[in-house]
């Protein structure tokens, strides 16, 4: 069965090839350059950059406020203004000639961490693609910090469940990335298996891992193992706690140490 991380890697690779967002949903803003044409009126073809006040200049009608509008909404607004005494039923076509720069940080367990310049509407998965995808040590959660826009410097914290996004196909959590967003991909937690197992080592933790699953991941019991005396060493509030003779179906926690002692016989 393909793991959620393999599915995510495949998904990100596909996005890397087809990462163009639908321009019709893009909200125009300061710095965008629009290419505007009117059917059968080539003299009105215009290239206009949106200014700091959210307006563009267009022949015949002058300044047009387009701040916060999508391309169809801008087309509709210009059509209405042209219809008001200039052109009968104007057909206005618009596309983005140049996107304004949008920047976002992505740090943690990605292959290309740092500041990335984005163009147009960009989702979380598309940002992940730009950052080269996840490392092998990536965990199941991403944390996004977003400035609220208030002068007090407050931030909104959004957690993204990577496993849910891919395994369950819940694209509702593939949120749009905004200018100035900061994303952190957490490192996966680990657990340790030591003693009479075939491959004692540290291993990546996943929710729902039980003692028997941990032992299986570690290669299984050796012939000398005392299967009925397995114990867990767990840190609780900074102090080590020893849980003796644990049940094989007992769930483990991050940073647990599963100890498999040697049999006396």
Q: What is the pLDDT of residues 48-100, one digit of tens each?
A: 999 989 999 999 999 999 988 889 999 999 999 999 989 999 999 998 888 77
The answer to whether residues 196 and 222 touch, using CB atoms and an 8 Å cutoff, is yes
Whether the model clears a pTM of 0.85, i.e. scores above it, the answer is no
Query: What's the per-residue H, E or C state across the chain?
Result: CCCHHHHHHHHHHHHHHCCCCCHHHCECCCCCEEEEEECCCHHHCEEEECCCCCEEEECCCEEEECCCCEHHHHHHHHHHHHHCCCCCCCCEEEEEEECCCEEEEEEECECCCEEEEECCCCEHHHHHHHCCCECCCEEEEEEEEEECCCCCCCEEEEEEEHHHHHHCCCHHHCCECCCCCEEEEEECCEEEEEECECCCEEEECCCCCEHHHHHHHCCCECCCECHHHCEEEEEECCEEEEECCCCCCCECCCCCEEEECECCC
Whole-angstrom Cα Rg for the chain? 28
Number of Cβ within a 10 Å radius of residue 258: 27
Per-residue pLDDT, 10: 57
Q: What confidence tier does 23 reach under pLDDT thresholds 50, 70, 90?
A: low
| Tokens of residue 6, six digits | 């393999």
Read off the pLDDT of each residue in 117-135 and give the average, rounded to a whole number.
Answer: 86
Read off the pLDDT of each residue in 115-123 and give the average, rounded to a whole number.
Answer: 80
Q: What confidence tier does 201 reach under pLDDT thresholds 50, 70, 90?
A: very high
Per-residue pLDDT, 31: 84
Task: Quote the CA–CA distance of 133 and 151 in Å, as a whole number.
Answer: 34
Read off the pLDDT of each residue in 154-167 and give the average, rounded to a whole number.
Answer: 86
The answer to whether residues 67 and 50 touch, using CB atoms and an 8 Å cutoff, is yes
Q: How far is CA 68 from the centre of its chain?
A: 24
Nearest in space to 91 (alpha carbons), one of 48, 44, 54, 58: 44
pLDDT at 240 over 80: yes
Task: Quote the CA–CA distance of 138 and 131 in Å, as a whole number.
Answer: 13
Number of Cβ within a 10 Å radius of residue 39: 12
When the pLDDT of each residue in the chain is averaged and rounded to a whole number, the result is 86
Cβ neighbours for 10, distance < 8 A, ≥ 6 positions apart:
none
Q: What is the pLDDT of residues 248-264, one digit of tens each?
A: 999 999 999 999 999 87
The answer to whether residues 238 and 191 touch, using CB atoms and an 8 Å cutoff, is no
Per-residue pLDDT, 200: 96
Q: What is the pLDDT of residues 220-236, one digit of tens each?
A: 999 999 999 999 999 98
| Tokens of residue 196, six digits | 């009479």
């Amino acid at each position: 069965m393909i793991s959620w991380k393999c599915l995510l890697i495949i998904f990100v690779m596909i996005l890397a090839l087809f990462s163009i967002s639908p321009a019709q949903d893009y909200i125009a803003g300061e710095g965008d350059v629009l290419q505007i044409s009117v059917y059968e009126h080539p003299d009105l073809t215009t290239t206009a950059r949106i200014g700091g006040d959210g307006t563009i200049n267009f022949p015949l009608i002058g300044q047009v406020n387009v701040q916060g509008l999508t391309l169809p909404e801008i087309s509709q607004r210009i059509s209405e203004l042209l219809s008001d005494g200039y052109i009968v039923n104007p057909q206005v076509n618009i596309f983005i000639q140049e996107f304004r720069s949008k920047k976002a940080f992505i740090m943690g367990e990605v292959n290309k961490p740092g500041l990335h310049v984005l163009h147009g509407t960009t989702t979380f998965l598309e940002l992940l693609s730009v950052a080269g995808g996840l490392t092998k040590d990536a965990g199941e959660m991403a944390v996004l910090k977003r400035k609220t826009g208030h002068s007090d410097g407050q931030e909104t914290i959004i957690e993204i469940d990577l496993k849910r996004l891919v395994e369950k196909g819940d694209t509702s959590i593939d949120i749009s990335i905004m200018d100035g967003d900061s994303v952190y991909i957490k490192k996966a937690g680990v657990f340790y298996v030591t003693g009479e197992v075939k491959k004692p080592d540290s291993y990546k933790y996943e929710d729902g891992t039980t003692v028997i699953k941990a032992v299986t991941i570690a290669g299984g019991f050796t012939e000398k193992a005392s299967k009925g005396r397995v114990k867990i060493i767990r840190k609780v509030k900074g102090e080590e706690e020893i849980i003796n003779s644990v049940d094989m179906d007992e769930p483990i926690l991050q940073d647990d140490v599963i100890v498999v002692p040697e049999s006396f016989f």
